[in-house]
Amino acid sequence: MKRDIISKLLEWKNKTNRQPLILTGARQVGKTWAMKEFGIKNFKKSAYISFDNNPNMKNLFENSVRPNELLPFLNAEAGVEIDSDTLVIFDEIQEVPKALTALKYFSEERRDIAIIAAGSTLGVSLHNGVSFPVGKVEFMTLHPMSFAEFLDAISENQLRIAIETKNYLLLNSFHEKLIGLVKQYMLVGGMPEAVSEFVKTKGFGEVRKIQKKILMSYEKDFSKYTNAEMAAKLSLLWKSIPVQLSKENKKFIYGAVKTGARARDFEVAIQWLADSSLIYKVGRISNPSLPLKSYEEFGMFKMFLHDIGLLCAMSGVSDKIILEASSIFKEFRGALAEQFICQELLTLEEEPFYWSVENSQAEVDFLIQRDDKIIPIEVKSGINLQAKSLKTYIEKFAPSAALRVSNANYKVTDNVIDLPIYAFRSWFQ
């Protein structure tokens, strides 16, 4: 299965000042596969070492973190002579925190050796007091498969090329087919196991079973990596996400998690889910100024799941509801369309926010910062392009460009760019 991250990993490999790489991302998004595949295709040798249930490695790194002392034992563990032609893979590295510390010394003393480290809940470890080498490592995130990667997987790569080359004339001809493919993607999502099953069967029944299995494994992680009290809070939060997204303005409400709940009751649990890459918080901006991050209001945010297919599975949405719906933008009050755009922005390495004003009905679904420009993004229902909130924003802040995503075909009116949902990423190419 083709993943876009392989080309990014190749750029990392070819850097003259390359440092050890930490690959983050939720469980089961394909980190292990990507690392192994990258090693097979781009190195003479790969040395794969998993730290999961591996007391030998735990003891090794407790006694030393210096490369030349570690290498003979790593050679024996991997069964490979590690040198500059080898990709070293440290999987489930969070199980041996001292191995994170060792990356600093590989960066300083043996930068000729290429190392990628990854692990489940690694983001939690990095924010829970585990020492890691600041300034001595690089980071990269693997998200669930994007819609573009999904097109590759189902052998529709020519449509992907048409999107990326902005061939809107061709896209207009395939408009209904592409809308249908977006609906399929919403149901399948981007978890590689689910996509692989869909490629084989072209059905949604087995895909849903896989999705439920993945969701169950996440809930088991709540208990595995936290205490009973925190696990209970994580479960409540996790199960509230479809409810949160089905609301009109989708702003996160603590009372929807548990009656009478307040921020202080769930702040740590929310951060745990975010650090585990299972959710993404989109913060509110009421004063869109540069840099956007500096104007984020932390008390107000939207919460999105990391994968749209898992959101459908959690919500119990049937394939019939999605595939036969006249507008994918109306399901869950447009929640699936906003989830789709949020995921696309993340795979494009954009950091989204949203705009609203206190005591006002005006709200723009997403804001992003591109260089020195702030771009508003409105997700509209069906082909109805009346967007009062976007109009209000444009009149108030006069952005250089505004994006409006819908079921309609591509067009440009003044500084408003209408993009069909399947071609959203074309604006970023």
Looking at residues 153-173, what average pLDDT do you find? 97
Of 111, 141, 171, at which residue does a domain stop? 141
End-to-end alpha carbon distance in the chain: 22
pLDDT tops 70 at residue 280: yes
Burial 126-165, CB ≥16 within 10 A → b, else e: beeeeebbeebbeebbbbbbbbbbbbbbbebeebbebbee
Q: Give me the residues paired with residue 48 across strands.
A: 89
| Better-predicted residue by pLDDT, 231 or 388 | 231
The mean-pLDDT minimum among 15-19, 131-135, 228-232, 309-313 falls in 131-135
Q: Show the domain range for 119.
A: 5-141
Q: Do 179 and 271 reside in the same domain of the chain?
A: yes
The mean-pLDDT minimum among 266-275, 351-360, 395-404, 420-429 falls in 351-360
Q: Do 20 and 119 reside in the same domain of the chain?
A: yes
Residue-level pLDDT at 127: 58
85-111 pLDDT, tens digit per residue, is 999 999 999 999 899 999 999 999 999
9-31 pLDDT, tens digit per residue, is 999 999 999 999 999 999 999 99
| Better-predicted residue by pLDDT, 29 or 329 | 29
Residue 21 CA to residue 352 CA, distance in Å, equals 25
Residue-level pLDDT at 320: 84
Q: Do 63 and 169 reside in the same domain of the chain?
A: no
Q: Do 246 and 136 reside in the same domain of the chain?
A: no
Residue 194 CA to residue 15 CA, distance in Å, equals 34
Query: Edge-to-edge strand order for the sheet containing 402-406?
Result: 297-305, 279-285, 353-356, 363-370, 373-379, 402-406, 416-420, 411-413
Residue 325: pLDDT band by 50, 70, 90 thresholds? confident
365-411 pLDDT, tens digit per residue, is 999 999 899 999 999 866 566 778 999 999 999 999 999 999 899 99
Residue 400 CA to residue 411 CA, distance in Å, equals 16
* Amino acid, res. 406: S
Residue 428 CA to residue 346 CA, distance in Å, equals 12
Looking at residues 162-177, what average pLDDT do you find? 97
Q: Do 134 and 158 reside in the same domain of the chain?
A: no
Domain count within the chain: 2
Residues 6+ apart with CB under 8 A from 262: 254
Q: Do 45 and 180 reside in the same domain of the chain?
A: no
DSSP codes of every residue in 69-122: HHHHHHHHHHTS--STTEEEEEESGGG-HHHHHHHHHHHHH-TTSEEEEE-TTH
pLDDT tops 90 at residue 247: no
Instruction: Quote the pTM value.
Output: 0.95
The mean-pLDDT minimum among 4-8, 44-48, 133-137, 335-339 falls in 133-137
Q: Do 196 and 73 reside in the same domain of the chain?
A: no
Q: Do 244 and 380 reside in the same domain of the chain?
A: yes
